[in-house]
Amino acid sequence: MDIFAFVLSTTFMYSAPLIFTALGGVLSEKGGVVNIGLEGMMYFGAFMGAAIAYYSGNPWIGFLAAGIGGGLLALLHAVACVTFKANNTISGLAINFIGPGFALFLSRIMFDGATYTLPLADKKMGMPLKGFFMKDSFLDNLLGSQCHTTFIAFLLVPVVWFILQKTRLGLRIRAIGEYPKAADTLGINVAKIQYFVVIAGGVLAGFGGATLSIAVSSAFNPTIVTGQGFIALSAIVFGKWKPQGALVACLIFGFSTAIGIVLGWSSVQAVFPVPSQILAMLPFVISLVILVSFVGKSVAPSSVGIPYEKDN
């Protein structure tokens, strides 16, 4: 396979889970609610996707179940932050413990005490363009190996942008994120909109987790998500709370993963021996550098993370 096509293909594949999750975070934070719990929602979504796909024999059912699982955790976050005015960060951190804990608890029940699911084999998410292009051509190597979830993730970017920028719902979401009192004065139900964006964000994070377990991989394991939710959070900051910006950041992180894989090849290691620990750290190092470089230049919605208290 052409190395350039391999790097691009791998970049797209590893960007897809981050794109789903980052878009969910953009929606939530545009509506004024910080969602630090994306990691936990991804984790639970990864388990639900793999487990339900295994037992149902249908990866699409598993994918939808993952979205429902992420949405249910997001509902807990919304109840805490919107209804009870809890600190967004503390609630999100709690979700990051609840998601993995509940996933491992269910895994032990459903898979005879194991903390991982059985391989999906032919139940893994399919590749819609496989065989569409000339075999071993550049496009075949680039697009023919991509699962449905990759195309869905990329298509969702303009969809979310359109919703936020060109619809009445998007205008209301942005207004609540900037100045919820003014939105409330105009008769907009702030709590209802915030519930919507938080739950929608959780559903997308669940899809991101399922992409890892039923598309990128073929099973759930305890380390499959580790850190991906936090990378998605940094993509939101890098992207300045815009879907298209988050996409660029996710592609950068996916590219760093692809480069790490290439540097791990035995032929490359023979010339440039790089410790595997450093290769595993690469996406997180890039994430840290980006945060340090851009966090001061990115302006979050004015009221994000501040619980709205309706005047009586």
Q: Where are the domains of the chain?
A: 3-226
**Alpha carbon distances (Å) from 265 to 63, 258, 259, 272:** 32, 11, 10, 10
- Would the pLDDT of 104 be above 80? yes
- Would the pLDDT of 145 be above 90? no
Q: How confident is residue 260, by pLDDT bands cut at 50, 70 and 90?
A: confident
The answer to whether the beta carbons of residues 261 and 237 sit under 8 Å apart is no
Q: Which of 3, 9, 15, 39 is nearest to 253 (CA)?
A: 15
- Would the pLDDT of 280 be above 90? no
Q: What is the pLDDT of residues 12-68, one digit of tens each?
A: 999 999 999 999 999 999 999 999 999 999 999 999 999 999 999 999 999 999 999
How far apart CA 184 and CA 235 sit, in angstroms, is 30
Please compute the mean of the pLDDT values over residues 88-92 and round it to a whole number.
96
**Alpha carbon distances (Å) from 75 to 28, 156, 217, 220, 242:** 12, 22, 27, 23, 23
**Alpha carbon distances (Å) from 285 to 43, 89, 93, 277, 300:** 21, 23, 22, 12, 23
Q: What is the pLDDT of residues 2-14, one digit of tens each?
A: 788 889 999 999 9
Question: Which tokens in the block code for residue 67?
Answer: 């979205």
Please tell me the predicted confidence (pLDDT) of residue 296: 61
Residues across the chain: 312
Q: Which of 134, 133, 155, 222 is nearest to 12 (CA)?
A: 155
Listed ranges 103-107, 131-135, 225-229; the one with the highest mean pLDDT: 103-107
* Extended strands (E) in the chain: none
The answer to whether the beta carbons of residues 155 and 85 sit under 8 Å apart is no
How far apart CA 209 and CA 278 sit, in angstroms, is 24
State pTM to two decimals. Answer: 0.94
- Would the pLDDT of 1 be above 60? no
Please compute the mean of the pLDDT values over residues 151-175 and round it to a whole number.
97
